[in-house]
Chain A
Amino acid sequence: MKVGLYMKEVNKKVAVFRREHFNAAHRIFNPAWDDAKNAEVFGKCSNPHYHGHNYELVVKVTGVPDPETGYVMDMKVLSRITKEEVLERFDHRNLNLDTVYFRELNPTAEHIGMVIYDLLRARIDPALELQVRLYETDRNYVEYPA
């Protein structure tokens, strides 16, 4: 009876979450400004020798569970896509120097979250909603889309 009840809920959306982590070095730096201005605005985050973080990434996928599998999305597939698109590019890297995304773009948590969203969005069924939450530290995190 219970199964039949849930099967009728054909249009109910569920969010599923996958958590991954990576660590990286970066420097918050606006190349249009001189060093003094960067230091004034970004403080020690602009250290020319870089600093780094353990980033925690939470990927949220929202949709109606497939009636045959019961899945919004196969979590193994979501994990694999996240590893391929995000971890292989960013883990143990210097975000400013080792990735193509932050040559011009300042690697703030906001921008990293937006880049990750775009990378994942291209690999996930357009019928599913996507949101990423990125923790730069335990107490600083961003969400995109807002």
Chain B
Amino acid sequence: MHYLCGTFIVCNMVYLTRVEHFNAAHKLYNPGWSRERNEEVFGKCANENWHGHNYELYVTIKGEPDPDTGFLFDAKRLSGIIREHVIEKLDHKNLNIEVDFLLGRMCSTENLVVGIWQQLLPHLPMGVRLHGIKLHETPRIFVEYFGE
């Protein structure tokens, strides 16, 4: 909704972020390479027996607040959608072998965030625009994806 405020057009674009978390095992290992090459490129992340992380997932949608509710979108419903279509598939799982949308892909945080975007997009209601996803692999390493 746009309205005139004095002589200026005021936009009410608001960004709403829901934070969820999951933990999982993975390894960075390219099956097309030798073990030596994997260790050279991925270091200890290539450990064949896996390692793991607590992932923090930030999902940001954008839009203008509904005049009746004041909500951009019900944050609880957003949480429900994220949990059903993303967290259920990832939490306490082995990302390399148990997650359908990652099969055949390298389990980097970069690929994971793109996969999460593709999982979520079809399940968001009309009018809810997905703006960005931020995914922390550790407190000091995170990636962002904006659907570009």
- Range class of the A interface residue count: 20 to 34
Residue B30, interface by CB 8 Å: no
Residue of A nearest to B137 (CB): A54
Known A-B contacts A21-B138, A93-B47; the reply to A53 vs B92 at CB < 8 A is no
A24 contacts across to B, CB distance below 8 A: 51-52
Smallest CB–CB gap between A94 and chain B, Å? 4
CA distance A24 to B92 in the complex (A): 13
Smallest CB–CB gap between B34 and chain A, Å? 19
> Which of B49, B97, B98, B139 is A25 in contact with, Cβ under 8 Å?
B49
Smallest CB–CB gap between A62 and chain B, Å? 27
Residues A49 and B94 in contact, CB atoms below 8 Å apart: yes
Which residues of B in the span 35-52 have a Cβ within 8 Å of any Cβ on A? 44-45, 47, 49-52
> Which of B49, B53, B92 is A97 in contact with, Cβ under 8 Å?
B49
**B-contacting residues of A (Cβ < 8 Å)?**
21, 23-26, 44-45, 47, 49-54, 91-94, 97-98, 137-138
Additional pairs, 8, CB under 8 Å, beyond known A26-B52, A92-B44: A21-B139, A25-B49, A45-B92, A49-B97, A49-B98, A50-B50, A51-B93, A137-B23
